[in-house]
Amino acid sequence: MMAGQAKQRRSDAEQAKRLNELVAGMPTTILVRNSGPFKGRLL
């Protein structure tokens, strides 16, 4: 593991729960993963 990655990775279910908590109360929101062929580009 690289320095700064000492935290244990969360499971998919834990990540989904956390994202739901973060966006609760926000207007309609689209979340995108910042990787792949369009990384860093606004579509």
C-alpha pair distances (Å), 36 with each of 5, 19, 26, 30 = 21, 20, 26, 17
Residues above pLDDT 70, as percent of the chain: 72
Q: State the pLDDT at residue 31.
A: 75
Confidence of residue 37 (pLDDT cuts 50, 70, 90): confident
CA 39, 11, 8, 21 dihedral sign is positive
Q: State the pLDDT at residue 28.
A: 85
Alpha-carbon dihedral 42, 40, 38, 32, rounded to 10 degrees = -70
Q: How much is the mean pLDDT over the chain?
A: 75
Confidence of residue 17 (pLDDT cuts 50, 70, 90): very high
